[in-house]
């Protein structure tokens, strides 16, 4: 099992992607331990004092004015977690749950939360031993922290709730015992430190980001295939065009498409004496559209990288100032904005891909390809309804791309009167990526079919490797057949990055 050692405040997107895709375990660099312990000592000092400190010796939210006796501080934290376990809906996937836990570790590791080192070590142990809390998907409004979902995580640490261990769902106490771990009794502020924070929203936004970036890579490949299949022009890929505009995503997309199409016999065959002057925008403007989406994803990535390294609970222990102060770092507005940006990028990558599918099945626009890419049109319908499916998915993604962060509602007796809605704003990205992968999968099948029809001319060696990979899983379409399995296999090739691997060229990086 891979175990990553992470330095809180200095974790990169590559680190986070590794945790997400491989479910790697995480430990904090021991160099952060002294800061964690110093913050805990400051909380202990507050408990011994007489001043009211929010969440340490007071109630929560609207009940912050209620003073709690020192003998009840452990009960206060226990009650906080159990009462906040109000999540509903299906359990989130293990991959996302583990990323939530890793992000919580990073936040606690900043040394501003006031927890004991014991809590950090328990989360590390749960990740290493494979104890994954069962966290319901719904219930967070993305402010005052992702309270409900993080409470379900914290409950398992106390021996309550449910967890997955060894492929089985069991009670939290049994899961910890089976893994050789011991539940904790939460001390002052520790429950609050565990559930205040944006880790649930951030984990799902990161998952959406990583899936969207992988899809963007695939979209560059399917778009290059479609360009060759309809005998489109590569003139719009001239590097000088993109340099004159200056957007890095556009420049990267154009460069990648040039590399993908280099050496194509199909392209060389119509450079001279092609009666067409310009291709439709879905061919001609691919770098401008997909490249712009890539730039939007990079902007969101920067926000999420910062958030992943942030201390986001409340109150925070400021060691240098020797104070414990209430603030609002738990408010997930930055994450909500990032999720909305990712949603827009996903929708637009799919929108222009769908137009390419529509183009390639249309004999009026596809430059002499047979209608709907079937060798015997009329008796056969070919990819006619596959294109309709992409239109449905494109429209669904357009609807889902409407912003979530602008939809606030007051909660907790108007104490928490503006919220981010970042949690479901980030969760919807998974559904949108599934839709996008299916759109690109259909484009992959249609473009490969179009390339086959151009024989004996061949596409570039790079794209021919992609077509060969497609044909490993999906045969060329002759007579009509039951197509649903073909569409699913193609979508999996997109989702798993198989066609990117088959192309075997360097792809743009998700740099921030």
DSSP 299-340: HHHHHHHHHHTS---SSEEETTTTEEE---TT--HHHHHHHH
DSSP 94-126: HHHHHHHHHHHHHHHTTS-S---HHHHHHHHHH
Residues 96, 260: Cα–Cα separation, whole Å: 33
Residues 103, 401: Cα–Cα separation, whole Å: 26
Is residue 383 flagged as an active site residue? Answer: no
Contact 180, 121 (CB under 8 A): no
Residues 207, 430: Cα–Cα separation, whole Å: 8
Strand partners, 25: 3
Residues 253, 245: Cα–Cα separation, whole Å: 13
DSSP 224-265: HHHHHHTT--SGGG-HHHHHHH--HHHHHHHHHHHHHHTT-H
Contact 229, 451 (CB under 8 A): yes
Token duo for residue 453? 């029809």
- For residue 396, with 0-12 CB atoms within 10 Å meaning exposed, 13-18 middle and 19 or more buried, which class applies? middle
Pick the catalytic residue: 54, 281, 383, 482? 54
Name which of 435, 506, 434, 497 is nearest 466 in CA terms: 497
**First CA to last CA distance, the chain:** 29
Strands (E), 22-157: 25-28, 88-91, 132-133, 136-138
> What is the DSSP secondary structure assignment for residue 183, as one 8-state letter?
-
Q: Which residues contact 245 (CB under 8 A, 6 or more apart)?
A: 288
CA angle at 330 for the pair 103 and 418, rounded to the nearest 5°: 140
Q: Which residues contact 56 (CB under 8 A, 6 or more apart)?
A: 43, 46, 47, 73, 188, 189, 315, 324
- Sign for the CA dihedral angle at 426, 428, 430, 433 comes to negative
Tell me which residues are annotated as active site. 54
């Amino acid at each position: 099992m891979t175990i990553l050692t992470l330095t809180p405040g200095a974790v990169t997107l590559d680190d986070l992607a590794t945790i997400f895709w491989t479910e790697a375990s995480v430990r904090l660099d021991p160099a952060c331990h002294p800061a964690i312990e110093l913050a805990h000592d400051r909380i202990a000092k507050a408990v011994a004092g007489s001043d009211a400190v929010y969440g340490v010796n007071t109630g929560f939210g609207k009940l912050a004015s209620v003073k709690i006796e020192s003998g009840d501080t452990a009960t206060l934290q226990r009650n906080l977690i159990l009462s906040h376990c109000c999540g509903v809906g299906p359990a989130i996937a293990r991959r996302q749950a583990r990323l939530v836990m890793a992000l919580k570790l990073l936040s606690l590791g900043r040394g501003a939360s006031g927890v004991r080192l014991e809590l950090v070590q328990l989360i590390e142990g749960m990740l290493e031993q494979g104890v994954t809390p069962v966290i319901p998907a719904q219930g967070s409004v993305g402010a005052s922290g992702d309270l409900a979902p993080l409470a379900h995580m914290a409950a398992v640490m106390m021996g309550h709730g449910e967890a997955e261990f060894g492929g089985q769902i069991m009670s939290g106490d049994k899961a910890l015992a089976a893994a050789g771990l011991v539940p904790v009794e939460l001390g002052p502020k520790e429950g609050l430190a565990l559930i205040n924070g944006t880790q649930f929203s951030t984990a799902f936004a990161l998952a959406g980001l990583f899936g969207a970036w992988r899809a963007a890579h695939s979209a560059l490949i399917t778009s290059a295939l479609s360009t060759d299949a309809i005998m489109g022009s590569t003139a719009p890929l001239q590097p000088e065009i993109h340099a004159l505009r200056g957007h890095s995503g556009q420049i990267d997309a154009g460069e990648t498409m040039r590399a993908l199409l280099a050496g194509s016999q199909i392209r060389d065959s119509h450079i001279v004496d092609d009666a067409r002057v310009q291709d439709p925008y879905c061919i001609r403007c691919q770098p401008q559209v997909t490249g712009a989406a890539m730039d939007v994803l990079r902007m969101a990535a920067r926000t999420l990288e910062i958030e992943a390294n942030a201390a986001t609970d409340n109150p925070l222990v400021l060691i240098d100032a020797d104070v414990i102060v209430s603030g609002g770092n738990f408010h997930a507005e930055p994450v909500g904005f990032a999720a909305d940006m990712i949603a827009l990028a996903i929708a637009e990558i799919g929108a222009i891909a769908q137009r390419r599918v529509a183009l390639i099945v249309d004999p009026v626009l596809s430059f002499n390809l047979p209608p709907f890419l079937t060798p015997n049109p009329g008796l056969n319908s070919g990819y006619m309804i596959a294109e309709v499916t992409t239109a449905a998915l494109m429209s669904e993604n357009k609807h889902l791309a409407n912003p979530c962060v602008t939809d606030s509602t007051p909660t907790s007796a108007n104490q928490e009167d503006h919220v981010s809605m970042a949690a479901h704003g980030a969760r919807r990205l998974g559904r949108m990526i599934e839709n996008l992968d299916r759109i690109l999968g259909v484009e992959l099948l249609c473009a490969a079919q179009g390339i086959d029809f151009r024989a004996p001319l061949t596409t570039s060696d790079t794209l021919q490797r992609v077509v060969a990979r497609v044909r490993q899983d999906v045969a060329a379409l002759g007579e009509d057949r039951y197509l649903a399995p073909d569409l699913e296999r193609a979508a999996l090739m997109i989702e798993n990055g198989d066609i990117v691997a088959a192309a075997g060229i360097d792809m743009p990086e998700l740099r921030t």
